Structure 1
Amino acid sequence: MRRLLILWFASVLLASCSNKQDQYLFERKEAAADIKPADTIANITNYHIRPQDILQITNVQNNRSIIDQQAGAGSAQAGQSLQTTGENGNNNYTVDDDGTIGLPALGRIQIAGLTRTEARKRIEDLYGKELKHPLLEVKIVNLKVTVAGEVKSPGNVPLVKDRTTLIEVIGEAGGLTEKANEKMVKIIRTNQHAKVDKLDLSNINTLSDSRIFVQNDDIIYVLQNKKAVRNNNLQNLSLVIQPFLLLVNTALIIYTFARR
């Protein structure tokens, strides 16, 4: 009986101390019926601005904030006199609940419902009535995705460009852990009634799948691989059985001494 107990403990110990499993990313090449062309994805390019979004508006020609047209200043003078006029002394502007933002010399303008490109064009057109060929850059700086599960640095990852892929987001999160299941990565699309896309990162064809482009407020969850799940189950089982085994082992010791 004691030998059996020793063997059982040894098997649990070996199972819990398994070697690191290598990740096999993009090694397989299999056709998938549900893969869609990359140009069909709804990504940040056609994201429509909403209330409470934060816009960063910069004058590209002068690497400063948007134009501060002083009272009585001519167009040429205004073009050379740029001030940092955003909220709290920077060039960020929050979209109000009514869908407007307040801009220097323009007042409040309706911006909600427009894409980033449409918003830039509208603002340039409005400033263009006073200035010659204004060149602005508009970014939406509050967009993000949330990464959880088997990545090294889970948390929120900002979306700093229009077309950001799942691979880039996982890279920003430190990459996959040794427990990650590269064949089962879930993207929960909260903007699409909690639609769930499952991607296989071991298949190189996934790189051409439109679903690999992330969207604002996506939740990316990397599941554990089978070995990690099995080890966790064994560890949980050992925690449950350990008190019972301790009791049995104590009874065997008492019984052995009693027979002497």
Structure 2
Amino acid sequence: MRALYFICLVGIIAFCSSCSYKQNQILFEKKSSAAADTAARPAAPVSYHIQPQDILQIRNLQNIRYIVDEVPTSATSSGGGTAGTGQTYQVDEDGTVALPTLGHIQVAGLTRPQATKLIEDLYRKNLLKDPIIELKVINLRVILFGEVKSPGNIPLIKDNTTLVDVIGQAGGLTPAANEKNIKIIRGKGKTQSVTQIDLSDLSSLSDTRINLQNGDIIYVAQNKRAIRTENLQNFNTWVQPALLLLNTALIIFTLSRQ
């Protein structure tokens, strides 16, 4: 009788360990109007300001050969090499960037559109007719890890890149993700802050806290089902061998008494 009991117990545990949990993620669900009315209005998004050591990619859309093919090949710390569709230039510690013909231009502290207009105006005044300058800051990154399909360093490829944009670039959430518990860690030391975002709430799309900044760390936590499954798997790794050993010993003991 005891042997039958242990065999049944082992069978139940094996069945439980084989059960799979289906994660039903609910994204951007409409919350009650009362909750939306009481929510504080988010602040306006903050544009990125160029800093020393940033890498700028610049080209003239009116004449792609200029700034790309006709730039001297020698480069200083301010200059760089070609990067596909434009020439790259590093901002010096003094906040200036060295550009062909123009020399050193102060760009630190400017937003990308402000720096674009400044360079465009200077080239129009000194050299080019109706230039259309394209400027990108190509060294901006965030770190994304946790329950996403492709974690790692994600470039901020456009102004006001959001959490949703970055998760999309990473292939989306995994079935084990907790869409209600996504943390954005920003800053270092005493200035560090942690913001928790709930993507199951439709109002999160209008929350400017999801606008990312260079150096942000984003962590997508596991959902409760995934945690339970992982704990059960860890439990089974040591319980199943012990139960098997006890069951075998009980069978041998029962047979020896017959």
TM-score with structure 2 setting the length = 0.82
1:40 correspondence with 2:44 = yes
1:9-24 aligned within 5 A: 9-24=11-26
| C-alpha separation in 2, matches of 1:34 and 1:216 | 27
Other structure's SS at 1:129 match = helix
Q: Check if 1:129 corresponds to 2:125.
A: yes
Q: 1:49 aligns to what? A: 50
Give how far 1:113 is off: 2.5
Offset, 1:111: 2.5
The question of whether the paired residues in 1 share the 8 Å contact of 2:49 and 2:110 is answered with yes
Tell me how far 1:7 sits from its aligned partner.
3.0
- Alignment check: 8 A CA contact 1:144 1:158 kept: yes
- Structure-2 separation of matches of 1:9 and 1:50: 63
**Is 1:146 aligned to 2:147, yes or no?**
no
Across the two proteins, how many residue pairs are aligned to each other?
242
Query: Measured at CA, do residues 8 and 243 of structure 1 come closer, stay the same or move farther in structure 2, by a change above 3 Å?
Result: closer
Give per-residue Cα distances to partners, 1:82-137, cap 9 Å, x unaligned.
72556224511112333332211122333222221222233234333313443312
Partner residue of 2:213?
A: 215
The CA distance in 1 between the partners of 2:252 and 2:88, in whole Å, is 75
Give the conservation status (yes or no) of the 8 Å contact 1:36–1:211.
no
Q: How does 1:77-226 map to 2 (within 5 A)?
A: 83-84=70-71, 87-90=80-83, 91-131=87-127, 132-190=129-187, 193-226=191-224
Contact 2:17 2:236 survives alignment (8 Å): no
User: 2:76: which partner in 1?
Assistant: none
SS in 1 for 2:104: strand
**Aligned residue type for 1:83:** E
Q: Is contact 2:182–2:219 with CA below 8 Å preserved after alignment?
A: yes
Q: What is the CA–CA distance in structure 2 between the aligned matches of 1:148 and 1:64, rounded to whole Å?
A: 40
RMSD: 2.5
Most deviating of 223-232 and 162-171: 162-171
3-state SS in 2 of match to 1:87: coil
- The answer as to 2:215 corresponding to 1:235 is no
Equivalent residue number for residue 71 of structure 1:
none
- Deviating above 6 A after TM superposition, structure 1's stretches of 4 or more consecutive aligned residues are none
Q: Which segment is superposed worse, 4-13 or 56-65?
A: 4-13
1:207 is aligned with what amino acid?
L
Question: Do the aligned residues in 2 keep the contact of 1:93 with 1:102 (CA within 8 Å)?
Answer: yes
Sort the Cα spacing of 1:241 and 1:34 in 2 relative to 1 into closer, same or farther, 3 A: farther
Residue in structure 1 matched with residue 252 of structure 2 by the alignment: 254
Are residues 34 and 194 of structure 1, via their aligned partners in 2, closer, same or farther at CA, if it must alter by over 3 Å?
farther
Match of 1:73?
A: none
Corresponding residue of 1:75: none
Alignment identity in percent?
55
Unpaired segments ≥5 residues, structure 2: 73-78
Contact 1:35 1:206 in 2 (8 A): no
Alpha-carbon distance in 1 for matches of 2:150, 2:49: 29
In the alignment, structure 1 segments of 5+ residues that lack a partner are 68-81
Q: From the superposition, tell whether residues 196 and 160 of structure 1 become closer, same or farther in structure 2 (CA, over 3 Å).
A: same
